[in-house]
């Protein structure tokens, strides 16, 4: 089955800093995520994670202009397998917390080398 890279995109002009969830809400979040993970356990290749600090290594001389760091656009990633892009989007969309005001998910097919 083809694999897809899911990138959590922080959407610009998002509404302020999100409210802090309460312990009860966090437990509910955990339960929902766990349920999603169970439902799609055959499709989840890599649950990935959030992206931290990074650095861009470039060839000398450095190209002109500012380099946009991926971290500013992408909050986290994971890899799922699905029969097609539609299914992959459906799986990612159902992941709790990924698609909400201020955040969306971009799903990209990973072309594996043939054979």
Partner 1 sequence: MNPALAAHFFRHEYGRLVAMMVRRAGAAHLEVVEDAVQAALLAAVETWPRSGIPESPAAWLHRVARNELASELRRRARRGDLDAERALASEERAVEAPQVPLAGDVRDDLLRMLFVCCDDAIPVEAQLVLALKTLCGFDVREIAERLFMTEANTYKRLTRARERRRRAPVALADPSTEELASRLPGVRAIVYTVFTEGHLSSCSDDAIRRELCDEAVRLGEILAEHPIAATPETFALLALMHLHRARMGARLDASGGLVLLEDQDRSRWDQASIQVGLSWLARSASGSSFSRYHAEAGVAAEHCLAPSFSATRWDRVVSCYELLHATAPSPLHTLNRALAVAEWRGPEEGLAVLEGLEPPSWLEGSYQWAAVLSDLHRRAGHRDVATRYRDAAIAAAPSDTIRAALARRLG
> Phi then psi for 62, rounded to 5 degrees?
-60, 140
Looking at residues 10 to 39 of the shown chain, list those that interact with partner 1 (rule: CB under 8 A). Answer: 20-27, 29-31, 33-34, 37
Nearer to partner 1, 97 or 109 (CB): 97
Closest approach of Cβ 80 to partner 1, in Å?
14
Looking at residues 44 to 63 of the shown chain, list those that interact with partner 1 (rule: CB under 8 A). Answer: 47, 49-50
Spatial separation of the C-alpha atoms in residues 68 and 88, rounded to whole Å: 27
> Phi then psi for 77, rounded to 5 degrees?
-140, 160
Structure tokens, 103:
């955040």
Q: Please report, as ranges, the residues that interact with partner 1 according to CB under 8 A.
A: 20-27, 29-31, 33-34, 37, 47, 49-50
């Amino acid at each position: 089955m083809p694999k897809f890279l899911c990138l959590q995109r922080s959407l610009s002009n998002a509404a302020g800093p999100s409210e802090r969830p309460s312990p009860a809400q966090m437990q509910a979040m955990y339960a929902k995520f766990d349920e999603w993970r169970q439902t799609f356990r055959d499709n989840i290749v890599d649950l990935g994670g959030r992206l931290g600090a990074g650095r861009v290594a470039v060839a000398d001389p450095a190209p002109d202009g500012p380099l946009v760091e991926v971290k500013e656009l992408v909050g986290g990633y994971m890899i799922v397998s699905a029969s097609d892009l539609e299914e992959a989007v459906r799986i990612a969309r159902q992941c709790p917390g990924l698609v909400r005001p201020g955040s969306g998910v971009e799903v990209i097919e990973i072309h594996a080398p043939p054979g």
